[in-house]
Structure 1
Amino acid sequence: MRDYRKYKVWELGHEITLMVYQLTKDFPKHEIYGIVSQMRRAAYSIPSNIAEGCGRESDAEFKRFLIISQGSANELEYFTVLAQDLGYIENQIFSDLNNKVDRVRRSLNNLINKI
C-alpha cells in the first residue's frame, strides 16, 4: 500500500484545494450551490482520488484513480475560467490558480506514464 502523503502531486492538489476554499468563500452567496460547490468538489477530488488510489492493491487501480484525478483537474480549470469571466476572480489570482492546476495536471500525467 502506498502513502499518498509522500507524493508531491498530492501535496499540490491539497494546496489547490485550500486555495479554492479560501477563494470561493468570497463568491456571491447565490453561487453557494452553483459554482462554489462545483469548484470545491473538483478541487478536493484531485487529492482525494490520489489518496484513494494509493489504498488500492494494483498499479492498474492506482492509475485509474490518477486518471480520475486528472479529469477533476481539467474540470477545475474550466471553473476557474468561468469564475474569472463572471468577475469572481481577479486576474492575478486566476493566473496563480490556473498555473497550479496546470502543474498538477502535468505531474499527474507524468506519474500515470510511469506506472
Structure 2
Amino acid sequence: MQDFRQLAVWKRAHLLVLHIYEASEAMPEAERFGLLLNLRRTAISVASKIAEGSGRGSDAKFAIELRRSRAAITELEYLLLLSRDLGHLPETQFQSLTEEIVEVRKMISGLISRLTTAP
C-alpha cells in the first residue's frame, strides 16, 4: 500500500479539483443541483479513485481504480465542454482546464501501463 498523497498523479488530480471548484464558483444558481454538482462530483471522483486504488493492496486492483479515474476524467472533459457551450465557462478557462485534463489523463494512463506491464 502506498500513501496516495505521495503520488504525483494524485497531486496533479487534486490540483485539478481545486481549479474546477474555482472555475465553477461563477456558475448560475440554477445550475447548483445540476451541472455544477456533476462537475464537482466528477472532478472529485478523478482524484478519489486514485487515492482509493492506492490502498487496494495490489497493482491489479490499483489499475482497476485508475481506469475508473480515467473514465471520470473523460466525463469531466465533456462536462467542461458543456459548461463552455452553455456560456458558464469562458473560453480561456475552458482551454486551461482542458490542458490540465489532458496532462492528468496521460499521467493516469502512464501509471496504468507501469502497473500492468509484466516485469
TM beyond 0.5: yes
Q: Which amino acid in structure 2 is aligned with residue 101 of structure 1?
A: I
Q: Which amino acid in structure 2 is aligned with residue 89 of structure 1?
A: L
Q: Which amino acid in structure 2 is aligned with residue 100 of structure 1?
A: E
Paired residues for 1:52-63 under 5 Å: 52-63=52-63
SS at match of 1:19: helix
Q: Shift in Å at residue 22 of structure 1?
A: 1.3
Q: Shift in Å at residue 19 of structure 1?
A: 0.8
Alpha-carbon RMSD:
0.7
Q: Distance in 2 between matches of 1:61 and 1:71?
A: 16
Q: Shift in Å at residue 8 of structure 1?
A: 1.1
Q: Distance in 1 between matches of 2:95 and 2:24?
A: 15
User: Which residue does the alignment assign to 1:97?
Assistant: 97
Q: TM-score, normalised by structure 2?
A: 0.94
Q: Distance in 2 between matches of 1:54 and 1:96?
A: 28
Q: Which amino acid in structure 2 is aligned with residue 18 of structure 1?
A: L
Gaps of 5+ in 1: none
Q: TM-score, normalised by structure 1?
A: 0.97
> Is the aligned partner of 1:71 residue 2:71?
yes
Paired residues for 1:1-115 under 5 Å: 1-115=1-115
Q: Distance in 1 between matches of 2:23 and 2:92?
A: 12
SS at match of 1:2: coil
Q: Shift in Å at residue 108 of structure 1?
A: 0.4
Q: Shift in Å at residue 37 of structure 1?
A: 0.5
Instruction: Number of aligned residue pairs: give it.
Output: 115
Q: Shift in Å at residue 58 of structure 1?
A: 1.1
What percentage of residue pairs aligned between the two structures are identical? Answer: 37
Q: Distance in 2 between matches of 1:45 and 1:99?
A: 18
Q: Shift in Å at residue 18 of structure 1?
A: 0.5
Give every structure 1 segment of 4 or more consecutive aligned residues whose post-TM-superposition deviation is greater than 2 Å: none
